[in-house]
Every structure is written in C-alpha cells, then in structure tokens.
A and B are shown apart, each in its own frame.
Chain A
Amino acid sequence: MTNWLRRYDLNAANAAVLLFLWLFFIVFMLYPLAYVFSNAFFTDSGFTLVFMKLMFSSPNNTIILANSVNLGLAVTLLTTVLSLPLAFLLVRYNFRGKGLLNGLILIPMVLPPFVGAIGMRQLLARFGSVNLLLLEMGVISQPIDWLGGGSFWGVVILEALHLYPIMYLNLAAALANVDPSLEEAAKNMGANSFRLFSTVTFPLMLPGYFAGAIIVFIWAFTDLGTPLVFEYREVIAVQIFNMVTDLHQNPMGYAFVVAVIALTLFFFYLSKRILGGGRYEMLGRGHVSSAARPASPTMTVIAYAVVLGISALALIPHLGVLLTSVTQRWFLTVLPTDYTFQFYKDVFSHDLALLSIKNSLLLSSLSTIIDVVLGVTIAYLLARKRVPGRSVLDALAMLPLALPGLVLAFGYVAAFSATPLDARINPVPLLVIAYAVRRLPYMVRAAYAGFQQTSVALEEAAINLGATPMKALFQITMPLVFANLIAGAVLAFSFAMLEVSDSLILASKESYYPITKAIYALLGRIADGPYIASAMGMLGLLLLAASLFIAGRFFGRRMGELFRA
C-alpha cells in the first residue's frame, strides 16, 4: 500500500481535487451517455435490441444514416482538396505578404455555417442574386434550382467552406513538422518529386492529417444548424433534434444518438489506429532548418491566386449575410436596391435579440470561468503531478473533441429531466456546463502547452531560494503561462457565444435563448426576422474574428494544435 502510494504525488489537497474532477466527469459526461445507452437498449421489460434493429432495418433510417456519413465524408474530402495546396504553398514558400494570407485563410472560421446559410439562401434562391445575374448575362434562360434536390451539396459546400481552415492548420503543422533532412535524404537517394511526396512526405504527414480530418468529419457528421437552415431534414442531427421534444414517448431518439456515438467512435478509431498509423517521433536530432524557400515571381502569383481565390469563395456566404443585414429592399435584383442600418439598431432594441445577447454573454462568461478553473487544474495535474489514473483523466478531458455537442445536449435533456437541473424548467445550468464541457479540451491544451514549455526547474529554483510551493506556482509558473491561459479562455468564450447544437436543443424557453437559438427563431419569423438574424450573425462574426485574432497572436504557428484530435 505504501509502495503503491509512493509512486504518486498524492496529498490531501491533490486527492480532493482529483475526486472533484472525477465526480464532474462522471456526472456531466459519463452518466448522460450511460443514460442514453440504457434507454436505447432497455425497456421496462428488460434488454431489447428492437430499437437498434429498427434503426438499421427501416429503409428510412438507413437513408438518414447514409446521408449523414456521406455528408461527413464529402466535407472531409472537399476540405482536404481545398487546404492541401494552401498548406504546401504557405509552408514551403516564403514570399511577401505571407503572414497576411495566412490570416486570410483563417477568416472563414469566424462564421457558424448556419448563419452563412442564411446569406447563401438569399444568393442561391430561385430568384436570388446568382440566378438573376446569370439571367441578366444571358447565360441561362430559366432560373436554376440550386437548393433543390435535398440541398445535400449546399450543406456540404457551406460546411466545407467553414471547416477548411481547421484542415489547413493541421496539414500545415504536419507539413512543417516533416524534418527537411528526411526529404533531403530521399532526394539524395534519387527520389523524384512525386516519389518523394508519395513515399516520404505524405506518409509522415498522415498522423497529423487524420488528427485534423477526424475533427472535420465529426463536425460535419453531427452539424445541426446548417441542415436546419437549408431544410435538409434527412440527416441524423435534424432527426435527433426533432425527437428531443417527445423523447419520453419515442425511444428512437436514444437509438439515433447511440448510432451517432457508435459511428463517431468507429471513424475515430479508423483515423487514429488504422489510417493515422503510428505517430512517428522525429528521430533526426539537432536543428530542424526551415523547409521554406523563397518563391519565384511566378510561384508568388500562383500562391496569391490560390489563396485569394479560395478565400473569395469562402467569403460568399458571409457577403450574403452582410448584404441581407443591411438590406432595405432586395427583390428580383442582383444586389439590394436600398440599404439601411436599421436592423443593427433593431438588434439592440428588439426584445428577443437584446435578451439573447445578454443571455449569451452571461452563459459564455460562466462557462469560460469553469473552463479556466477546470482546464488549468487538469493541465497542471497532467503536466506536473504523478496522479493515479492520469491517462484516464487525460482521455476524459479530451473526450469532448470526439463527443458531438448534439449527443451531449441530448444526453443532458434526457438524463436530467425531472431533476433540479431539468432543462425544460431552467436551462441555464446545463447550458453553462454543456458549453464548458464542449470547450474544455481547448483550455486544457492551451494550459498544458504552457506548463510543458515552462520548465519545472524554474519553480524548483524559486523553492530552493525560499519560496513556498504555492508562491513559486503563482509568482513563477502562472505569469509564464498567462498568455496561454488568456488565449485559451478567449477561444473558449467566443466559441461558447456561437455554440449551435447544444443551444438549439437545451434552450427551451424564449427567455433563456442564447444568440444562436435566437437567430434560428428569428429566421422562422416573417417580415424583418431574417434581416435582424443576419445583423446578429454579423455581430457574432466580428466577435469571433477579434478573438481568433487575439488567440492567433498568442499561439502563432501552434494554433493548429488546438484543432486536432
């Protein structure tokens, strides 16, 4: 017993903190999941597979499952195609304005795709700008039904245009991590460019690629907002959303959530173990010289053309939202005929809009505080202390990366109904916790990176000179990791402000609507609803852009580490 204890840094304080963390994860992550599983497999009369059978035998359901998987795969593929050339150009070449282009690539992250969908709908409607423009130019004689046919491709394109920066960050990091001397060794052995890429560079990039790809896949696979706005209802996310309201009558909701979890785990496993292969430790020692070389003028032009082209494409939905938000009159014309700032004023006077902004600020602030406290504590324990169950703690803190918000929110509604936390009575506590849990991995990673970069010897030096361990922590280590904590907190806060799926599912009463749910509700109103919604979307966009900018300043090249599994 004493031998067992001696292997760990366990004192009363550490043990209490650890116990609290375990309790938190059990209550707010494991229990809701277990609840969902038990309802999917158990009825009053015991264990049953009838719901799962129904899930996979009903042609209706299998089509829905297939749609969602296809959606995830198509988005992953499209983001790869978009970001691979970007990564190569920006990692391998140096040219003027590279930093600016790097920033430009990240911009599409700032708009939740379901807001972009509003703008897209305006542009691609039967008598929207695109058709009208094409009609005017005489390219077509009949308007094309862009959004028809289930809108599958509309959803794919919007999500891909939103998510390719995440893929880019991961590919760029993976490419930058490939030791140039390994490539030089291959060239020295006589490999040409193609063989070099296919036999050395690409295999070395794979683990990094799949770490990003799985995030993109899970995001698209379980995204709720975009299909809702496009009214593409034949996907799992929308089905689950519709079943939340009657989950006590219809256990199929549980079965759908279990299917989502099973498929997520399956793809996660596939990406990590089989496709991602082993993580190759870079064996080469010594200084890794930069692999970037000066670009020729032609290459510079190509780089600018590719980046600007893709960015312009990605900004089309944003442009649509922007135009919608300032439109006074926009009917059967390519561009609005009258402009107004009325809707921005409305945001701050409209009951629902103003209330939702207040709600979101409160919810996000609270969840960010929880994230900072939990994230710093967990990261400190992981980085600095030998505690029992270390790897399990690590896995639990990272689990939300692979746990769709949809699943978490559904689990909360189900598991905590008829408890003091019941979301249908007051969703605030569960919304705060859901936001916090969803963004916890970012905070843990940001803080962990800080603790890792800050040598323990710095703290020991202070203790050696007479500082108590607490003093050393707060005078030496904390100031040094402060930048990381700020960056992590800014990201956690702004993503919480624009959380979609858990907000849509958990916020049950209008008085508790956060911004995203208010935008969704406004879209359904006739008259000025969509316009105010667009104005709110623009404000959210500015907020997220500002915070990503701040976070980017702190993290620099390591930004990609936050968006990977």
Chain B
Amino acid sequence: MTVSVKFESVTKILGQSKAVDNLTLNIGGGELFFLLGPSGCGKTTALRLVAGFYSPDEGRILFNDKDQSRVAPHKRNTGMVFQNYALWPHMNVWDNVAYGLKMRRVSEGEKKKRVRHALEIVHMQAYAERMPNQLSGGQQQRIALARALVIEPDVVLLDEPLSNLDAKLRIEMRTQIKDIHRKIGRTMIYVTHDQAEALSMADRIAVMRRGRLVQAGTPHELYTRPESAFVAEFIGGTNLIRGTLEEIGELLTVRTEAGLVYAKNGVKGIARGASVFCSVRPESLRLTSAAKSSGQPPSGANNELLAEVQSIMYLGDNEQYSLRLADNAMVRAVEYNQPSRKAQVGERLTLQFDTHAVVVLPEEELGD
C-alpha cells in the first residue's frame, strides 16, 4: 500500500522569516513528486517537515490522512537521502545499509536478505565491505539511496541527491532513480533546484518561491501553461515582453512598445488595460529576413516583430541569438541544427512566432 502525503496550510518559521508559508499540497501515493525552486525558496524546509526534523508552527502534515505533525522523526518511517549523503564514516557499506533494520530489530536472516537486495537495486553488491571514504561520489550516492530504501519506508525523501555529482553521472542517475521508483512504487519526494532534473523525472512538480507554492502540475502543464512569469522563466527559460492587454477576444491582443502581439493563451482573470508579460520561449521564435516581412501585423496565426541581431553564441547542436527589439528590449532565440548561419551580428530581421506559442501573464517582480 502506498502512502499519500498532505501539507495542510503549513507554516514554518526559521529565525525571523517564514521558510514555509501557508503551504498546501497533496502528494499522491506512489508519486514521484518534485519540490522545485531557487535556493532559499523553502523546498528543503518542506522536506524536513515531512521527515520530522521540523514540526510545523501552523497547519498539519498528514500521511494517509493521519496527522504526523507531532510524531518524532524516528517514528515516521521515512527514508531520507541527504544532499551530502551523510554516510557514517566509521561504518562500512553493509553496516550503513543495515542500520535502519537494526533499529527495527529485524531478524538476522531477514536483515541479510534485505540488505543484499537493497545493494542489488543500486548495483553495489560488490562493495559491501568498503568504507564510505573508499567510494566515489556516485557510489556513495547509491549507498545513501540503498540505506533509505532498505527499511521499506512509507515515503522516500531525496534532498538534492544529485547536486554533488558531475554532469554526466547526474544524467545517468536520473534514469536509475526513475527506474528504482518504478520498481518499488513508493511515494518519493524529491527536492531540487535543477529544472531539467525535475522536468525529466517528475510525475508532478510543485514550484516554490519565497516559502510559498507558486504552481503545481505535471512537467508538461508547467512548461506549456505557466501561470506566472516566475514559473515561465524558471522552467525552461523564456522571453518576457512587457505590454498592456488591449483586447480579449478569440485572441488576446497586447500592445507592446515593439508592436502588437497576439496570444492564444493567457492566465484567466486579467482585466483589459492591465500591465502584462507576453511569454514566448526562445525556441518558438523563428528568424526570417526583413525583406520577406510585410511589416504589418499579420491577421493569421503568426506574430511578427522587427529585431536586430546583437550577438550569436554557437553551442554545437544549436545557436543562441540575442536580439534587440524596436523598444530596445532584449530577447533570446534558439535555432537547432542549422546547416548554415541564419543571420549575422548587426543584421535586421523579422521574428515570427505562432499565437499559440504566446502566454499572457500578469506582470510581476522577478528574481528569487
């Protein structure tokens, strides 16, 4: 049976500030759930509230609708993987992994079977006798995972488990952790500041900012239908073009200083005349030569804006363009797998983008 985790209006004060501020979340049983946000957004505090290292100042934490808020951490049956792994340096791999079972007074035979099985899951059977300092970072990470899994926890908690690994290993471990999640089918809560990690692994993601929940949803929902400029910017990166909402019809019409922008999608409830951001992903911008452009706002599915190329960065499989719009605002565009360069620095051209690639968002202050 899987265990669901519920945050009910949870507030936690650390020092003078609200590290977690009125957080409500429902994490389904068996989900691989991500808490995502910049450093200091409260995601680790939220995780430690689930583990029981903090108890909420307001609100409740429930496992399967049972209140856990005042349950001591050693009685919660969560398995946590710490950011720096926290392997005990005075015990070998086997003893590290067996510790939780010892605390649970599991019989000797059962213990052996389960430790061996846990080491198998993380492909570390051969290292049982090693001391932690004889292991590489990636190996330590896997032992930390095995140690958390072996107790068959109700909830597996992962606190930036991959942040200390090099880039290549990090990508490899993403697949492995996903596989393990599929195999054991337990609820996992995973904290990270790496949006690519979250997008590629999560069943669902909660984006946090300044202790508050900003938006929760599947990776696809968050990427295609962000509800705030912060989410659009934090997940995938975007261009935010400032303007005023002029008309609400089949398309939303936004007057910007660079020209009119038409959008298919927008956050509900924005009034006419409100200040807004038009969010357009860099990969949605197409560079076309200025000559072909009519210079007039098109009536069809396309937006067109004039721009001048400021700089180009070549990255192998793609090229990134920095462009200056008519009102001097900067935007970024990406071109993938181009056989030849589309434009030169200083060239004036037209940016085309579909109306369904634009999301109209309420204006807000950005940064953490």
Contacts and interface: CB of A to CB of B under 8 A. Distances in A.
Interface of A: 6-7, 455, 457-458, 460-469, 471-472, 476, 479-480
Interface stretch (B82-90, B111-119, B355-363): B82-90
B84 A457 contact: yes
Contacts of A476: 88
A465 B86 contact: no
B246 to A, nearest CB: 49
Interface string B83-108: 11011111000000001100110000
B90 A480 contact: yes
A402 to B, nearest CB: 32
Interface stretch (B71-79, B175-183, B260-268, B346-354): B71-79
Top 5 nearest A-B pairs (CB, nearest first) are: A465-B100, A466-B103, A457-B86, A461-B86, A464-B80
Nearest to A3: B13
Given A461-B80, A464-B79, A464-B80, A469 B74 contact: yes
Given A465-B151, A466-B104, A460 B53 contact: yes
Contact of A6 (B57, B75, B82): B57
A466 B100 contact: yes
A463 B90 contact: no
Contacts of A464: 51, 73-74, 78-80, 148, 157
A468 B75 CA distance: 9
A463 B74 contact: yes
A463 B88 contact: no
Contacts of B53: 460, 463
Most buried by A among B78, B80, B88, B104: B88
B151 A461 contact: no
Contacts of B147: 461, 465
A6 B13 contact: yes
B347 to A, nearest CB: 40
A462 B99 contact: yes
Contacts of B87: 461
A465 B103 contact: yes
Nearest to A460: B53
B82 A460 contact: yes
Given A465-B99, A465-B100, A465-B147, A480 B78 contact: no
Interface string B136-156: 000000000001100100000
Most chain B CB neighbours (cut-off 10 Å) among A460, A464, A467, A472? A464
Q: Is the interface of A mostly helix, strand, loop or mixed?
A: helix
A372 B13 CA distance: 35
Contacts of A480: 88-90
Q: Residue among A462, A465, A476 with the most chain B CB within 10 A?
A: A465
Contact of B86 (A6, A7, A455): A455
A6 B84 CA distance: 28
B71 to A, nearest CB: 12
Nearest to A7: B15
A7 B75 CA distance: 24
A406 B151 CA distance: 58
B57 A466 contact: no
A479 B90 contact: yes
A460 B86 contact: yes
A466 B86 contact: no
Contacts of A457: 82-84, 86
A458 B80 CA distance: 11
Contacts of A465: 74, 79, 99-100, 103, 147-148, 151
Given A463-B74, A464-B74, A465-B147, A458 B88 contact: yes
A462 B103 CA distance: 9
A1 to B, nearest CB: 15
Nearest to B48: A460
Nearest to B81: A461
B106 to A, nearest CB: 10
B151 A466 contact: yes
A275 B83 CA distance: 41
A531 to B, nearest CB: 49
A384 B53 CA distance: 14
B100 to A, nearest CB: 3
B74 A468 contact: yes
Contacts of A469: 74
Contacts of B103: 462, 465-467, 471
Given A460-B80, A464-B51, A466-B74, 12 more contacts: A6-B13, A455-B84, A458-B86, A460-B86, A463-B53, A465-B79, A465-B99, A465-B151, A466-B100, A467-B99, A476-B88, A480-B89
Interface in B152-195: 157
B13 to A, nearest CB: 7
A478 to B, nearest CB: 10
Nearest to A464: B80
A469 B75 CA distance: 11
Contacts of B84: 455, 457
B73 A461 contact: no
A479 to B, nearest CB: 5
A389 B279 CA distance: 52
A461 B99 CA distance: 10
Contacts of A463: 53, 73-74
Nearest to A465: B100
Contacts of A467: 74, 99, 103
Contacts of A462: 88, 99, 103
Interface in B8-32: 13, 15
A458 B104 CA distance: 18
B25 to A, nearest CB: 20
B363 to A, nearest CB: 36
B330 to A, nearest CB: 30
A475 to B, nearest CB: 8
Most buried by B among A7, A457, A461, A469: A461
A465 B51 CA distance: 10
A472 B73 CA distance: 12
Nearest to A469: B74
Contacts of A455: 84, 86
B92 to A, nearest CB: 14
B82 A461 contact: yes
Among B75, B84, B99, B147, max chain A CB count under 10 A is at: B99
Contacts of B51: 460, 464
23 contacts: A7-B15, A455-B84, A455-B86, A457-B83, A458-B86, A458-B88, A460-B80, A460-B86, A461-B80, A462-B88, A462-B103, A463-B74, A464-B73, A464-B74, A464-B78, A464-B148, A465-B99, A466-B75, A467-B99, A468-B74, A471-B103, A476-B88, A480-B90
Contacts of B77: 466
Contacts of B74: 463-469, 472
B102 to A, nearest CB: 9
A340 to B, nearest CB: 50
A476 to B, nearest CB: 6
A363 B14 CA distance: 46
B86 to A, nearest CB: 4
A344 B331 CA distance: 89
Taking each of B13, B15, B51, B73, which has the highest tally of chain A beta carbons within 10 Å of its own beta carbon? B73
Nearest to A480: B90
A457 to B, nearest CB: 4
A2 to B, nearest CB: 10
A502 B57 CA distance: 51
A471 B83 CA distance: 23
A466 B86 CA distance: 15
Contacts of B57: 6
Nearest to A467: B103
A471 to B, nearest CB: 8
A522 to B, nearest CB: 47
A460 to B, nearest CB: 6
